[in-house]
Amino acid sequence: MILPSHFLIFLNPNLRYIVDRTEIHTKNDRVSIQHNRLYSKPNIWRAIMNNTSLAEILKPIFDFVGVHGWNDSSLYALSQTTDLGLADFHALFPNKAEILKKFGTMIDQEILSQFADNTSDDPHDALFDILMTRFELMTPYKKGILAIYNDTIGHLSVDLIKTLPHILQSLSWMGSLIPQQNYDAFKKFPTLKLSYLYFQTTRTWLWDETDELSLTMVEIDERLKEIEQFSARPSIFSFITNFFK
């Protein structure tokens, strides 16, 4: 039996292969592949993008979303903003949540490359610099991000639910860049505190139209101080522990 396909994805236990313009021949429950091109998953993006950066693909997508909204932008409409064919677009973005995940990963990689060996010794300043750099990197996509925020926050959005684990992973990576051994404020529940800090400051950044994002800088500094002051307060558990010492 021959199963023709323009674009097929096939899984084996060890490696995910993406087979492009191929036919799968099955006989006696064994599978052989006749193909023109066979890519392992990490290489398929490079082959499809053909020396086009991910930023060049995502920018028109976010511009379109900024005008038409997230919920009203279909995957087909978003694919038409790029130079990719529909099948190639699907390979990169099988669903809308994947657009958000790849965008987040792109920003994460830029942050990690900039701060891997270049963070301030002061943890407060280090986290301030990391967050400000992240917002500066996201600024060209701001209109699209605002539209996504308006269409997903406060609603039971499937795309938001799918993306939340990736956001928490991003925050974990950001936290790993902070010299936490000298930062008592983030020794306990670091991801929870970073989530509060990031989401609160993001809301300010989305409506911050100042040239140097001065409102965002003030918000980050104030929220950091709030977390530091809260963390410095003795908890009920420390009272009990001290009482029985």
**Which CATH number goes with the domain that contains 90?**
1.10.357.10
In 3D space, the residue among 150, 171, 172, 177 whose CA is nearest the CA of residue 71 turns out to be: 150
Q: How many CB atoms lie within 10 A of CB 202?
A: 18
Domain presence at residue 217: yes
Domain presence at residue 148: yes
pLDDT class for 20, splitting at 50, 70, 90?
very low
Domain presence at residue 240: no
9 plus 86 within the same structural domain? no
Does the pLDDT at position 118 exceed 90? no
Domain presence at residue 244: no
Residue type, 194: L
95 plus 32 within the same structural domain? no
Token look-up 């407060």 returns: 124
25 plus 128 within the same structural domain? no
Q: Which has more confidence, 140 or 126?
A: 140
27 plus 115 within the same structural domain? no
Which residues, including other chains, have CB under 8 Å from residue 196's CB and lie 6 or more apart?
223, 227
Does the pLDDT at position 37 exceed 90? no
d(CA 186, CA 181) in angstroms, rounded, equals 9
214 plus 96 within the same structural domain? yes
Domain presence at residue 242: no
65 plus 41 within the same structural domain? no
94 plus 37 within the same structural domain? no
Does the pLDDT at position 235 exceed 80? no
Domain presence at residue 153: yes
24 plus 60 within the same structural domain? no
Domain that holds residue 139: 52-232
111 plus 135 within the same structural domain? yes
168 plus 80 within the same structural domain? yes
Residue type, 1: M
Residue type, 104: G
Give the number of domains in the chain: 2
Q: Say what the pTM is.
A: 0.74
Of 30, 47, 64, the residue at which a domain comes to its end is 47
Give the pLDDT of residue 98.
Answer: 96
7 plus 23 within the same structural domain? yes
pLDDT class for 78, splitting at 50, 70, 90?
very high
Antiparallel, parallel or unpaired: β 2-11 and 30-40: unpaired
Domain presence at residue 81: yes
Contact 36, 22 (CB under 8 A): yes
Domain presence at residue 146: yes
Give the pLDDT of residue 43.
Answer: 54
* Percent of the chain scoring above 70 in pLDDT: 71
80 plus 35 within the same structural domain? no
Which of 7-16, 39-48, 92-101 is modeled with the greatest confidence? 92-101
d(CA 188, CA 208) in angstroms, rounded, equals 31
